[in-house]
Each structure stands twice: as C-alpha cells, then as structure tokens.
Structure 1
C-alpha cells in the first residue's frame, strides 16, 4: 500500500465536479439539498449506497461523521481542498458548504453517521464532548491509525445494527456509540489540506454562500428579496454572464436553475417545519400572491403545497 506522503504528492488539483466520471444521467446536476426530512439519527452504508460526485451548497440541519474505508477523493470544505483516502474520518458541520469529487475508479467504501441539531440538544453529554474537543469546527478531518480505524469501523457497524432493532432506546444507545467514536478519533492526527480552492471555484463558493445567506434566515419579517442571476451577480460585483458560466461549469446548471431549486427547497422546509399559512410562505419566498406560489411549486415538485405539507416527498439520501 502506498504511503500517505506518496499519495498526497501525486494528488492533482480537481477544479470541476464533472472532471471525474459520474454515474448520474447526463445533464443531471450533482447538487444535493436535504434538510427537511424527519429523523433524528441514522447510519448509511457507503459501500451499499455508493457515493457519486456531489455539491451541498445549502445549510443542513444535521451533523455528519464520514468514515472512509476504501477509495480516494477530494473534499472541498469551505475554501480548502482535502485529499481523502482510507482510514480518514471527517466531521462535517451543518453550516459547511461541501463538495466531493471521486478520484478512484470506483466509489470507495465507508459508513456515514448523521444526527440532527435537535438530537445534539437532547444529549448534553454528547454536546459537551463535541464542544470540549472542537469536533466539527477545528477538528474536521482526521487520519486514523490502523488500530483506531478498526475500532471506529466496529463501533459504526454496531451502531448501524442498533438502528435496525426498532428498540425505543435505540437512539439513546446510538448517541453513546457516537461518543465512543469521537473519543477513539482523538487518537488520530490532524489532516492538512491539499491547498486552497481555485479563483474560479471561489466565485462559485461566494455565490452559494450569498444564496444561502439570502434564504436561510427567511421569515415573515425577512422575506427573500434576490431572485435573479443578475441580482446575485451585481451583489458579487461580477458580470452576470461570467458568473453564470462559472457556476454552470462547476455544477452543470445555470444560476437561474440553482436559485429556483433553492427557493423550492426552502419552500419545502417551511411547509414541513412551520405552521405558517401558504400566503405567509408565498411572501417569504418572494411571491406577491399565494396562487402564483402554488403554481410555481406544483410545476416543479409535482404536487400542490398543501399536498406536500400533508405528505412530504422525501428523496433518497445522496452523498
């Protein structure tokens, strides 16, 4: 097996999501937005579900522990690139803008553990460990020893089995496993970034950061005001065509489509997570009246806002 130093020196900068082969249908964007689903904690087997290239530009309401057992890739977190291989564990904060690019021929293996913010609030002892040792903030990517990697893999496997029991105390037990995983990970070593992102990607990052800032605090007193590519380009002091070209190069879709998708996902979240009326949500999203909002929502989601609120459409987990 190659050493970490050799692999790092061979790692080449990857600036576009579409630089690597994708199992997604042609023209399908790898932009993933999932934060309105109703669960507290879950474990996903990466080897079974796979992991294609993806970008998560919007806030999530969950923390994510990502443990790699095989394969390689480049993880962009914030404004840094990290070269990832086996025995690496990542701690992804809900507010982090994240992009993943596979660099191995096949998607690698591993296990994901995700838990909601509310789950952390319900378990003060877990929150204490995270805060004390600065997981998800200063400790984001750790390279584990072989012994620690085996232990973490075993704990995650046991945790996954616990999740399938249906026992009413399963979630309590799972948070204990998370604490053990965090403690075992402290035996790892900080993993340094490969390098900063390109200037092109920096503009893409700034766009998504601004889009998220505009939408994630939306409420009846603070409705969304920017809804066009031109408005975002002006705010970023960029030519609209230039910004659109960069964003399309990195994600496969134009700025207008990404804004539309973000408005739809915020609409879904507000419908599921609040008891605000359709008129209030319409105004928050930026529509002058509720019929136009309902028409917009049904056109792209396939059901009316009321139908979605009664029975949320929950997509399969990606990435």
Structure 2
C-alpha cells in the first residue's frame, strides 16, 4: 500500500533546498480539497502538527464535539481551528465536498498574533452555518486560493494572506446560526480527552517548539472555554487523577527525556518546561525522582 505523505514530509521535500531562516520567515501555507478525505475510501487528513491554524468549508451534514458542547451542522459550515482548540468531527460519510487551508503563525508574522481575532479565541465562535449563497461566495474564495498557490507570481503568498483575511472577516461579519446543545452523556470523557490532547500537543520540546505554554489547570480550562472546576471534575471522574497530577507527570516525563537525550543545560530545560527559576525545577524533580536533575543525567 502506498504510504500517505504527511504535511511535514511534503514541506521537507518541497523546501529542503531553502535555508532554515528563510523557511521560518516565509512560514507554512497550503490549501486542499476535502473530497479525498471523506467517504468510504478517505485518505488520512494530511496535517498533524500542533502549530497549524485551519479554515475549513464543509458541505454536508455533520456533528462537531468540543468540550461539553455539540455543534450540529445541518447543511454546511465554515470552521476556524486554533492549534490549541481541538475539535472532533463526526458523520464525515455525510460530508459531500469542501476545502480547507492550513497555515502557521510564522505565515502571518508581520500581522501580529492570529488569536487576537475572535474566530481563533477559546470563547469565540468557531463554526458558522452557511446558506447556499454564502457557500458559493466561500467556494469562490477557496478557488482563488487554488489558482494563486499554483501560479508563478513571485508575491503569491502575500496575495494568499489577503485571501485568508478575507475569509476571516467574512466569518466575523456573520451572525452565529449553529445550535450548541449541551450533552451531559459522555461530556466528562470528551473534556478529559481534549485536555489530554492539549497537554500532549505541547510535546516533544525541541528547537522548533522550545517551551510549554500551558502549565496550570486554569490555563487549560481557559483554552477549553469552561470553568476550571468543571475541568477538574471531568478529569478526576475519567482518569481517577487530578488535573495537576497529570500535568506534573507529563512535565516530569519530558524532563527525563531532555536530561537524558538533549544537550541543553538544566537551566535551559527548566525554562523550556515552564519553570521561572532553576531551583523550582530542582525541587520539583527531587520531589518525584528523589535525586537532582544533574545526578539523574549523570547516572
């Protein structure tokens, strides 16, 4: 069976000749048709990296789970995904067509942070039900993306940024029409799963992802747009562990990996894992391992 090329492999192959500083400056952008990724013979969706934003047009009935909410898409919708806001889509066999573009923060480095816009904020609106007329307009915008990315125009990525902003403002001018139905059944399981996914998206720590961004339970709750007590109850119910305990265990696991396999010194590792002081990291590590980070590394 032919191996599906991931988006990381695509970029490595496509831009391997390019110096790293230029690749970072340019950022990543791509656009895809949705048809190959839905139905009985669907291919894996070719993006897994934690740093990708995504805008997707979905034509067809579907259901979206997010934390303790269920969003019923009756006909067609436009969605906006922040790397820190995971969704679970269901009923993809009923999705008929669509398109999506993916990009990272570097692609918009000259325009500030993307999460300043409501559609990419945890408390913002991320799913927009569309009329047939609106679908035609959004399809036209995506068609222009495909035309532009396949062109030889030297400044085509500047044009593509403008097209992305056009989609963004098109959505923000709309009024939400999707229904958000609270579903108590399995809500704790969904919240716990999303929490664990957010936690895991921060790892592994490396040169391209040099430090964790979410450490406290309240920070995870803010990303999920729920109260921290709600998060704590859900995680405890499903995992039999506290939120703080799970976070500490994952931080400790990454600390051991960095101490054993990286060339970073202890201060660099402490900063990467979200500790403001090296002594705080040393005390944390000793609490769970009964030896200092230096002794663990030398052992």
TM-score, normalised relative to structure 1? 0.52
Q: More relative contact order in 1 or in 2 (CA 8 Å, sep 6+)?
A: 1
More helix by share: 2
Of 116, 128, 133, 1:142 maps to: 128
Question: Is 2:144 the counterpart of 1:158?
Answer: yes
CA deviations over 1:192-243 (Å, ceiling 9, x no partner) = 3341244424234324414633662775998xxxxxxxxxx9x943476x89
CA deviations over 1:100-145 (Å, ceiling 9, x no partner) = 1116x44421010112112222335x95xx746x222323111233
Partner of 2:56: 66
Give 1:100-249 correspondences, 5 Å limit: 100-102=89-91, 105-124=93-112, 127=114, 131=116, 134-137=118-121, 138-210=124-196, 212-213=198-199, 216=202, 236-238=235-237
CA deviations over 1:281-304 (Å, ceiling 9, x no partner) = 9x89999679xxxxxxxxxxxxxx
Change (3 A) 1:187 1:214: closer
| Structure 1 gap segments, 5+ residues each | 1-32, 223-232, 244-258, 271-275, 291-319
| Structure 2 gap segments, 5+ residues each | 1-5, 12-26, 213-231, 242-248, 274-284, 286-292
Q: Residues 144 and 189 of structure 1 are in contact (CA less than 8 Å); yes or no, is this contact kept in structure 2?
A: no
Quote the Cα distance in structure 2 between the aligned partners of 1:144 and 1:46. Answer: 17
TM-score, normalised relative to structure 2? 0.55
Change (3 A) 1:214 1:173: closer
Q: Residues 58 and 76 of structure 2 are in contact (CA less than 8 Å); yes or no, is this contact kept in structure 1?
A: yes
Change (3 A) 1:189 1:36: farther
Q: Residues 68 and 89 of structure 1 are in contact (CA less than 8 Å); yes or no, is this contact kept in structure 2?
A: yes
Quote the Cα distance in structure 2 between the aligned partners of 1:35 and 1:113. Answer: 15
Quote the Cα distance in structure 2 between the aligned partners of 1:195 and 1:34. Answer: 34
Q: How many residues align?
A: 216
**What RMSD over aligned residues (CA atoms) do the two structures have, in Å?**
4.9
